[in-house]
Amino acid sequence: MSRILSGIIPDEAVFTDFRRQALSTDNWYSKYDKNGMEVWVEVAPIASSPQGNKNIPKVHKIKCRMTIKDVSAATMYDVLHDGLYRKKWDPTMLESFDIARLSPNADVGYYSWLCPKPLMNRDVVTLRSWQVTDDEYVIVNYSVKHLKYPPKKDLVRAISLLTGYLVKATGPNSCSFTYLSHSDPKGSLPKWVVNKASQVLAPRVLKCVHKAGQSYPEWKEQNSPDQKPWLYPEQSTLPMMDPAELTIQRADSLENVDESSQLDVQESNKAEDSS
């Protein structure tokens, strides 16, 4: 994160490091490899608490790579950017919108999503930046503080330490699609639960994105086919914002919301139903 902190908008070093992590196999432990889907985790070093406890587990980085044989890299990249289309294929989304532009290839946005009961739903405010070359597409994001979008009482503000996608063309209608995330959902979830759940949920999300990619060209043909501000910045209608108004959102500066009461209510309801 140090290179991000030198300026709020990622520089070339951030993209280079993200590519390195996305393509590396060193220090990544394979958890799943089947049917063109691979999942790895990178276990972070054990952290020390202010009380001197050195056995505090950290949230793992997770990486998923999917081999796509029937959708182009360009189409998958469009799917990741197209906010209107996301409402069609993302079943967990509560609300999603772009807030402002920071540069021709960076913006800040808001996203909230449903969590399985009895957990509270989550939201994030992230700075997103992207880079395109001839056969490669990269998107990275991380959490920021925006004064007009503070944490809400009915949602847990999650943290993206660094999340992104690397989409590489392998042919005119095929690609390698890599998702890498280092995120903390906050709340009172044990870290081991977070780590285990992410290994299960991330591949499901990727399969959902793949399916969305298969249907995107037909949908886009009927929905402003020439409107792609992520490729053509001059098309953007978002207001410009001074990046200096944003600061990095640190995980330890957010309150850990206690969700145990939600669990207690569910257990109580189960007891009443069985009586």
Tell me the pLDDT tens digit for each residue of 49-92. Answer: 444 444 455 777 999 999 999 999 999 999 999 999 999 999 88
- Residue 118: which pLDDT band, with cuts at 50, 70 and 90? confident
Q: Could you tell me which residue, 58 or 135, shows the higher pLDDT?
A: 135
CATH number of 2-274: 3.30.530.20
Comparing CA positions, the residue from 50, 119, 103, 93 lying closest to residue 244 is: 103
d(CA 57, CA 93): 29
pLDDT in tens, 195-218: 676 667 788 889 999 999 999 999
Coil/strand/helix, residue 81: helix
pLDDT of residue 264: 44
Main-chain dihedrals φ then ψ at residue 209, nearest 5 degrees:
-65, -40
Tell whether the model's pLDDT for residue 269 goes beyond 50: no
Coil/strand/helix, residue 169: strand
Coil/strand/helix, residue 244: helix
Which residues are 171's β-sheet partners?
Answer: 174
pLDDT of residue 255: 55
Buried b (16+ CB within 10 A) or exposed e, 121-159: bbbbbbbbbbbbeeebbbbbbbbbbbeebebeeebbbbb
